[in-house]
Amino acid sequence: MSAAFLALAAILLLTVAGAFVRVLRGPSPADRMMGAQLVGTGGVAVTLLLAAATGETAAVDVALVLALLAAFATVAFVKSASMDGLGDPEEEEAEIGERSEAAGP
Partner 1 sequence: MSALDLFSVVAVTIGVGFFVAGTVGLLRFPDLHTRLHALTKADNLGLGFVALGVMPQLGGVLPALKVLAVWALALLAAGTAAQLVARAALPRRRPRGER
Residues that bind partner 1 (CB under 8 A): 1, 4-5, 8, 11-12, 15-16, 18-19, 21-22, 28, 30-31, 33-35, 37-38, 41-42, 44-45, 48-49, 51-52, 55, 57, 60-61, 63-64, 67-68, 70-71, 74-75, 77-78, 81-82, 86-88, 92, 95-96, 99-100
Cα separation, 82 vs 28, in Å, equals 13
Contacts of 84 (CB under 8 A, 6+ apart): 91
Q: Is 40 left (phi over 0), alpha (psi -120 to 50) or beta?
A: alpha
Nearer to partner 1, 11 or 105 (CB): 11
SS3 state at 1: coil
Q: How far is the CB of 42 from partner 1 (least distance, A)?
A: 6
Of 2, 69, 79, 4, give the one whose Cα is nearest residue 39: 69
Q: How far is the CB of 85 from partner 1 (least distance, A)?
A: 10
Q: How far is the CB of 105 from partner 1 (least distance, A)?
A: 14
